[in-house]
């Protein structure tokens, strides 16, 4: 079992759901990235997703795009990110996964990238631009190393295709709440619960919802129907304050925000 499999087995046995913050690596620098991960896990986050900055992100909205631009402007490198995450992974009791473009993996070499994650005790990768038709090789590489290959299902994904995606995924399925790009929304689509409910009946993989989740009200509505919730833009927007405000203050604001979501998630469960 991968560390993500172990996490969801434990959560299910305790009737709990995962809250997974997303943060951009290197914004404003990797020391702050490490500090945020450690604090969010200490507050109760089940897992952290770490975005590998990329110049042409596929589905990221303006908040995450701007954070990527800032990090790339400072010369962030993939090997530096993985070295930092490897050090953090030894200090936290929660899986870390990278959100990474397939173009980066391809350029690094699929086996080389997977070996680096395994060596650094990083639990897996989310690859938003990997077509299911081209995923079998990377899925096999990850499976041989007990890494999770997490793939996305969107509201426009046909049901037969969603099942194919589930077959080559591991760890969990990432269900995109809204068609379009990442970003904070005022409300969740009314049909989301039914769609996620159907998908959970088709696969043994946990199904986690991301894109647009930013408020405790969203968490209370979606907590009962998913295995986990992913919060990105709202976290990254608050982290950007580290550029202009004292870092300890920004860190506290980010952590307090995530704590409010955790409280809402716990309150939504029977």
Q: Is 29 a catalytic residue?
A: no
Helices (H), the chain: 3-13, 30-43, 62-73, 78-89, 102-108, 110-119, 136-144, 159-168, 192-202, 216-222, 233-239, 247-268
CA distance 100 to 105: 7
CA distance 75 to 71: 7
Q: Is 27 a catalytic residue?
A: no
Cβ-proximal residues to 40 (8 Å cutoff; 6+ apart), any chain: 21, 23, 48, 254, 255, 258
Q: How many CB atoms lie within 10 A of CB 56?
A: 10
Q: How many CB atoms lie within 10 A of CB 260?
A: 13
Catalytic entry in 5, 60, 119, 129: 60
Catalytic entry in 5, 27, 49, 227: 49
Question: Which of helix, strand or coil describes residue 175?
Answer: strand
| Residues assigned a catalytic role | 49, 60
């Amino acid at each position: 079992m991968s560390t993500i499999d172990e996490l969801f087995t434990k959560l299910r046995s305790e009737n709990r759901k995962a809250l997974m913050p997303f943060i951009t690596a290197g914004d404003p620098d990797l020391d702050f990235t490490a500090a945020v991960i450690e604090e969010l896990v200490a507050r109760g986050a089940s897992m952290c997703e770490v975005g590998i900055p990329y110049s042409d992100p596929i589905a990221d909205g303006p908040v995450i795009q701007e954070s990527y631009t800032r990090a790339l402007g400072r010369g962030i490198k993939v090997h530096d990110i993985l070295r930092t995450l490897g050090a953090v992974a030894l200090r936290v009791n929660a899986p870390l996964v990278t959100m990474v473009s397939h173009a980066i993996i391809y350029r690094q070499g699929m086996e080389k990238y997977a070996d680096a994650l395994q060596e650094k005790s990083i639990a897996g990768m989310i690859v938003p631009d990997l077509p299911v038709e081209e995923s079998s090789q990377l899925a096999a590489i990850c499976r041989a190393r007990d890494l999770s290959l997490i793939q996305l299902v969107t509201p426009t994904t046909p049901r037969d295709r969603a099942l194919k995606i589930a077959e080559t995924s591991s760890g969990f399925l990432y269900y995109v709440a809204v068609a379009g790009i990442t970003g904070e929304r005022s409300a969740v689509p009314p049909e989301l619960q039914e769609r996620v409910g159907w998908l959970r009946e088709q696969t043994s993989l946990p199904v986690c919802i991301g894109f647009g989740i930013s408020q405790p009200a969203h968490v209370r509505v979606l907590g009962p129907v998913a295995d986990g919730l992913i919060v990105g833009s709202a976290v990254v927007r608050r982290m950007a304050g580290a550029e202009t405000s004292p870092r300890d203050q920004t860190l506290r604001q980010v952590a307090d925000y995530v704590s409010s979501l955790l409280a809402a998630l716990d309150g939504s469960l029977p």
